[in-house]
Amino acid sequence: MNLIQFFSAHRMEILQATGEHLWLVVIAMLLAVAVGIPLGIAVTRKPWLSKPILGSANVAETIPSLALFGFLLPVPWLGSRADRLAVAALAVYALLPIIRNTIAGIQGIDPNVREAARAMGMTDSQILFRVELPLSVPVLLAGIRVATVWTIGIATIAAAVGAGGLGEFIFRGLAMVDNRVILAGAIPAAILALFADIILGFFERRMRHAR
Amino acid sequence: MPETHAKAAIEFRQAEFRHGDRPILKGLSLEVREGETLILLGRSGSGKTTALKLVNRLLEPNSGEVLVDGRATADWDPIRLRRQIGYVIQDAGLFPHFTVERNVGLVPELEHWPENRRKERVADVLRIVGLEPAQFAARHPGELSGGQKQRVGVARALAADPPFLLMDEPFGALDPLTRAEIQKEFLAIQQQLNKTIIFVTHDLREALLFGARIALLEAGELAGTYEPQAFLRTTEPLAAAYVATLGRGAARPTLEKSPEKRGA
């Protein structure tokens, strides 16, 4: 059975695993965005937060992914279900580029623009929501794009803790020493990453041109 | 123009400002009368921009106070205070993601003016600064020349018809011809609208153009205030040094290029 035949014979399984994979990534990214953007904003408001926040996100990034899954296993609510565990670990990895780009986006705004906003009597939240965030969208999206592509790759390891996804095929293929099975996980994951990059890159460029 | 008996609209009382240990303003006392244009003249680092920012409370004095409409800025709600004070800066500081119309209409929008009144007002002020609304309202700042941006900056400051205007070298970054044009137009605007204006510049030519009282700042201290003619005649060395930069035919500002301030 060649690769194409193998893929078509297992297409439902592959499709289902791809769906699971996507699900893990999307939930993890939503979580990372929901946590990362406010943390990034906090750093731009209180510079002393920069060391603790960026420091911990940096350290988390250096933990090998398999080890991070292991570390989170004993955490009460998280460790009780594999998908929760996987989502949490993936979100932790996605955090750093999102926090960093939020900071870079806001700090990259022309200081004259911010000063004009203040001088015109905008409140702090008006400045944030009407000026700073809209102007940092392209940089923010770049961070989200990079983080999404990484997360799609790292999410294959989630199968090691039984969270499903395309990693299932990869681990199974490794155990069976069957390249076709490995590729049944690796190829769709690569395609997902490529698509995510293209689609998010498209939005990013559109936002850039919008000014 | 300056009415000697009008009350002080803006008053600096021994206002001091330090940046860390470095004194920027050393006890500035100065009155700006209602409806008057006051020129703050000084070189870079003399504290003139700092003085301006004390008025709309972008900065707060370390000691002393600044009174706006008889009330210390510290006692004002900063948001209320700033919405009554138009502010124009050298690089315009327009919002790049807003159209000209939204840029100009921002304070009216923040003040919840109804939309049709806002639109009307935006069109009016655009005309005042010499921009045809039909042609410019929908553009983004990136599609404007330096002079047009600066006009939009002035229109934005005028939009909510604030009684006060602060202008920080508003025409300093423009090429000499455009600058002369805008200066002339602004002179007409200034004479029409009865506003209290503090105009910061390092260019004596520009200062004289407005025919207004000149407050000379040097190293964070007030070196004197002068009526324009008195400024030209004084023997006080600092003022005389400024006059010397005009060269011959001093009393008549011309279109010649004046030394530009760069960087810092």
Instruction: Give residue-wise pLDDT tens across range B26-66.
Output: 999 999 999 999 999 998 889 999 999 999 999 999 999 99
Chain A contact for B149 (CB, 8 A cutoff): no
Q: Chain A partners of B91 at a C-beta cutoff of 8 Å?
A: 110, 112
Confidence of residue B257 (pLDDT cuts 50, 70, 90): very low
Per-residue pLDDT at B118 exceeds 60? yes
Q: Chain B partners of A116 at a C-beta cutoff of 8 Å?
A: 87, 89, 92-95
- Estimate the share of chain B in helix, then strand, then coil, as percent rounded to the nearest 5: 35, 25, 40
Mean pLDDT of chain A: 91
Residues 6+ apart with CB under 8 A from A19: none
- List the helix and strand counts (H, then E) for chain B: 11, 10
Burial class (CB in 10 A: 0-12, 13-18, 19+), A165: buried
pTM: 0.83
Confidence of residue A65 (pLDDT cuts 50, 70, 90): confident
Q: Chain B partners of A126 at a C-beta cutoff of 8 Å?
A: 110
Q: How far is CA B84 from the centre of its chain?
A: 14
Best of A120, A126, A128 to substitute, by most chain B Cβ atoms within 10 angstroms, is A120
Give the percent of chain A with pLDDT over 70: 98
> What is the model's pLDDT at position B1?
46
Mean pLDDT of chain B: 89
pLDDT in tens, A152-166: 999 998 888 888 899
Q: Do A118 and B80 touch (CB under 8 A)?
A: no
> What is the model's pLDDT at position A211?
54
A→B interface, C-beta within 8 Å: 110, 112-113, 115-123, 126, 131, 134-135, 210-211
> What is the model's pLDDT at position B6?
58
CB burial string B160-175: b at 16+ within 10 A, e below? bebbbbbbbbbbbbbe
- What count of Cα atoms within 13 Å lies in the side-chain half-sphere of residue B65? 10
User: What gap in Å lies between CA B60 and CA B18, rounded to an integer?
Assistant: 10
Q: Chain B partners of A121 at a C-beta cutoff of 8 Å?
A: 78-83, 107, 110
The DSSP code sequence of A1-31 is --HHHHHHHTHHHHHHHHHHHHHHHHHHHHH
Which H/E stretch holds residue B218?
strand B213-218
Nearest to A119 among B56, B94, B142 (CB): B56
Q: Do B82 and A120 touch (CB under 8 A)?
A: yes
> What is the model's pLDDT at position B255?
44
User: What gap in Å lies between CA A101 and CA B98, rounded to an integer?
Assistant: 22
Chain A residue whose CA is closest to B166: A119
